Chain A
Amino acid sequence: MANKTPLYEEHVADGGKLVDFAGWDMPINYGSQMEEHRQVRTDAGMFDVSHMTVVDLTGDRTREFLRYLLANNVDRLKDSGKALYSCMLNESGGVIDDLIVYFLQEDFFRMVVNAGTHDKDIAWLEKQATAFDVAVTERPELAMIAVQGPHARDKTLPLLSDSARAAASELKPFFGAFDGDWFIARTGYTGEDGFEIVLPATEAETFWQKLRSAGVKPTGLGARDTLRLEAGMNLYGSDMDESTSPLEAALGWTVAWEPSERDFIGRAALEQQRQAGTTQKLVGLLLEGKGVLRNHQKVIAAGAGEGEITSGSFSPTLQRAIAFARVPKATGDTCQVDIRGKLLTARVVKPPFVRNGAAQIEL
């Protein structure tokens, strides 16, 4: 039996096409993925992301634990509520998962990890936390709704309780705040402004209905994928996994090398890789002509070798095919992509493709 989020009945009522996603029945779209994508870029859309895993980490040594656990440095988190994006690595520098961690108090951090990696993440966290006496507590009784788009905040704020609204309206980007059982963060996975709201599962349906009445359209996982791809954000399992290091996944910026004395899991392997030099890199591709780039298509870089598309799709905003591809380090400004036996030219570009509704690359 597939897991169902607290919003399952709402998805059915909204005409959502449900598919299995990491063992969860989730809506891929509610009719038109393109329309849902546009909705988020121009107005506001909402996503049920309750399948994601919320984990609370508590104990006096939580910061010390995270300093060792994560490739990014939690010491960058000085103000309460501040969020940090990081990879969690294994000893060989491979990515176990990517995640967001919020600093709340010295003895309380909240982490949100992927649904598809739930079991191994929890096992890893528990294993590593023991030495630091940090308690790892999953919060399955909570739901999570992401409201994203240029009008997401305006449409969400009036629906919140007075105290929650007061806290949420003050949030700077990449900060979160508690209001009772509710946790509201100004974060997301679309390249647009908005909130990610963690709330009791029992209140999720009512809040979803209020958002819908306020004109926030339900948006499926299909649009979530094209939005994040346009925004230049990696997807775990497609763009990186345990066989790739952050340095080969365009995530070098999330590795905090300084201070050099900070030991973190995977550091030695990453140092070695940095010293030796990586042979591959993750780049953005823009298809020059018509067609669609898809995951696993072969990429041929003249004189450099071959690579592969890790995430490919049609960009509804740019009306062109875009992708991330893992290619040889020496790949130049263009490459060829094998689409059903035909070699089509693609330009190598630096993501993001789209931010805050606007194209970031020249077509």
Chain B
Amino acid sequence: MSNIPVELKYAKSHEWARINDDGSVTVGISDTAQDQLGDMVFIEVPEVGQTLTAEEACAVVESVKAASDVYAPLGGEVVEVNEGLADSPETVNNDAYGEGWIFRLEPAAVGELEALMDADAYEAFLASEDH
């Protein structure tokens, strides 16, 4: 069974987004995505201060198998990146929704979050992708 926390929002390109108490949004890739990609060996994070638009390719997760783009689930300014991934990319495999977060942004328009899927919708989306 897929691990899909209910408190998060999801994009069709398999990123998750968490709304923090201060209004910022933390972004990572879903457990399904990390499982599909396999052992992570290198994560290229965006730059702090970089302005992203929704669906913009802004990070790269490289597994031993392949490189895969990470898209911004919503627009905004990058306020923090997970520096720890430089030395421990496998954190994305081990804790995709926690320590394996990739970047945090200050959203330009919170409304964009509504365009994302909730856990149920993402689960249904995964099922449809499988068949």
Contact = CB atoms under 8 A, between A and B. Distances in A.
A34 B44 CA distance: 20
A291 B64 contact: no
A340 B64 CA distance: 17
B60 A340 contact: yes
B86 interface: yes
Interface string A199-227: 00000000000000000000000100010
A291 B39 CA distance: 14
A238 to B, nearest CB: 15
B67 A222 contact: no
A330 to B, nearest CB: 30
Interface string A290-309: 11101000000000000000
A148 interface: no
A291 B67 CA distance: 10
Nearest to A294: B67
Nearest to A35: B39
B60 A313 contact: no
A3 to B, nearest CB: 22
B62 interface: yes
Contact of B38 (A29, A291, A292, A294): A29
Interface in A303-332: 313-314, 316, 321
Contact of A290 (B39, B42, B65): B42
B58 interface: no
B38 A314 contact: no
Contacts of B62: 291-292, 314
A202 to B, nearest CB: 33
Interface residues of B, number: 12
Contacts of B67: 292, 294
Given A28-B65, A314-B64, A33 B39 contact: yes
Given A226-B64, A340-B60, A32 B41 contact: no
Interface of A, helix, strand, loop or mixed by DSSP: mixed
Interface in B42-69: 42, 44, 60, 62, 64-67
Contact of B42 (A29, A226, A291): A291
Q: Which of B38, B44, B86 has the most chain A CB within a 10 Å cutoff?
A: B38
A316 B65 CA distance: 12
Nearest to B90: A34
A345 to B, nearest CB: 16
A15 to B, nearest CB: 11
Contacts of A37: 64
Interface in A65-98: none
Contacts of A29: 38
B116 to A, nearest CB: 26
A28 B64 CA distance: 12
B86 A33 contact: no
Interface in A242-275: none
A341 to B, nearest CB: 11
Interface string A24-52: 00001100111101000000000000000
A32 B60 contact: no
Contacts of B39: 32-35
Contacts of A290: 42, 86
A222 B67 CA distance: 14
Contacts of B41: 34, 292, 314
A33 B44 CA distance: 21
A222 B65 contact: yes
A292 B42 contact: yes
A19 to B, nearest CB: 10
B74 to A, nearest CB: 23
A293 to B, nearest CB: 10
10 contacts: A32-B38, A32-B39, A33-B38, A33-B64, A34-B41, A226-B64, A292-B62, A314-B41, A314-B62, A340-B60
Closest 8 pairs between A and B when the two form their complex, measured CB to CB: A314-B41, A34-B39, A292-B62, A292-B42, A33-B64, A314-B64, A33-B38, A33-B39
Given A33-B39, A292-B62, A314-B64, 19 more contacts: A28-B65, A29-B38, A33-B38, A33-B65, A34-B39, A34-B64, A35-B39, A226-B64, A291-B44, A291-B62, A294-B66, A313-B64, A314-B41, A314-B42, A314-B62, A316-B64, A321-B42, A340-B44, A340-B60
